[in-house]
Structure 1
Amino acid sequence: MSLLTNVMDHALDDGYAEASARRAAEGGGLPRTLRAKLGLAAGLLLAAAVVTVGAAQTQLSASVVAKDREELIERIRSETTAADDLAEDIEALRGEVGERQRAALQEHGGERGDLVALLSGATEVSGPGVKLVVDDAKGVAGGGGDGPREGGGFSDTGRVRDRDMQRIVNGLWQSGAEAIAINGQRLTALSAIRAAGDAILVDNRPLVPPYTVLAVGDGKRLGARFQESADGRYLQALRENVGIRSSLSRQDRIGLPAAPSLIVRTALPRTSGAGNGDGRGTADTGKGTS
């Protein structure tokens, strides 16, 4: 019993009691709650410093990005303006080259100068002729469909194909047309009618239906000859079998523009020393494009 009484009376070791009393007498100890508050305050100050530094860095980076963006936009605007100026210069030079080529054709074509200028599309043309309008069948939606027609068969898509326009144009040429344009696009002896999907291209320029074909020539004879030709009968078969729509009318006067670009082939005599021994020079064939 004396041992239990001693433990209950002296629950704290005497050494701990003496150390606690000594710290209290010297004043070096801080209450636990005060130490906890000081630690919390230090942590909050450190967190505030980190957030402040991070915000400053973010603002600095944002200003740098905004400056770079503005510089990039300004460069794009400057380069776009320069590109537009160059495009205008190119168009002006193309126009100048075209005018000089047309003048050269008319000046040096000799007796056949007018014919050469006509076939090359170098000059505007006006006179009597015919107007042929060709359009897809009713209810045909844009896009889709099969490829161009092969051989002499027909497609049930009801769309006008490049092969159809080729036959129509060739039929007009053979019927006596002197100049032809499709949707305002002048055809020359070197023009090409091709397909790109369902689109029809004339000299790489896309056309949109309906296709208006203007042909200068003797309107009465030209229309009659075309309708009686194999290509005219082909167009009639397209109307009957596929539903493609077309109308042909005689025009007292129509006007066709000059071709937008020319492909000129010339023969130039060789200079001195290029003769063939009899005093006559031989010719070199040169090709120039505008």
Structure 2
Amino acid sequence: MKLIRYGAEGQEKPGVIIGEKYYDVSHLVNEYDEQFFSGNAIEELKQKIAEGNLQEINKDVRLGAPLARPSKIVCVGLNYKDHAAETNMPIPSEPILFFKATSAIVGPDDDVIIPKNSTKTDWEVELAIIIGKKASYVEPEDAFDHIAGYALHNDYSERAFQIERNGQWVKGKSADTFAPIGPFIATKDEIENVNNLKLWLKVNGTLMQNGNTSNFIFDVAYIVSYISQFMTLLPGDVISTGTPAGVGMGQKPKAWYLQPGDVVELGIEGLGTSKQNIKSYS
């Protein structure tokens, strides 16, 4: 099943994609939030959908992020071998963790705003894990029991804020609009092998990132288990699993970054595509 939230910003309603069509389910589900993901609501929703009585909605509608604001976004840095190589950093012996503010979340095709005083706004196509069951001290073999599904995420980063301004990476990751998620959440039964998915990103039509999750340093089960050793993951929480090579910071012979007017398009096999127009802060 594919879960969407549609409508004007701040007024999104829950929906689903069945085949190629969009349907409203706001009469069946209040919201795709912690309460929804914490129970058996996905299976219950599937049963209710099977009974029919769904209203189709126009596919031209704006899509918001496919989940309401989670308690946290936990990100994994340098989790692809080729990305570690392009940044001239050693392969990490343990996952590098940082947070991204949930206020950065926007819809998959919403505009991305270059933050005030930014000089190095960068792109990062990433697979996002959506937690479906409270996870604390989870073993890797049990990790998938705690996953609700997966989504496409563009982990925008301001590299000067992230690297040159001291302190935690969160400063370079959390500007408003820096977390477009979606277009949908695919429940885990939709994805045959999450550790073998193609992912890509283009800037102004030029292919910049072309990777595969098979190049993970730490796979999905390990990541969920590892993070759960340090914090409790709540239903609806997002884990962003890192990006492959091809970010602006890694370009040779010289790094280059996004400018107003640029267009970023990205996608992951089985998880759809998204597109962001880059605009200046005003």
TM-score range, shorter chain: under 0.3
Structure with greater proportional strand content: 2
Highest CA radius of gyration, 1 or 2? Answer: 1
Q: TM-score, normalised by structure 1?
A: 0.22
The higher-RCO structure (CA 8 Å, 6+ apart) is 2
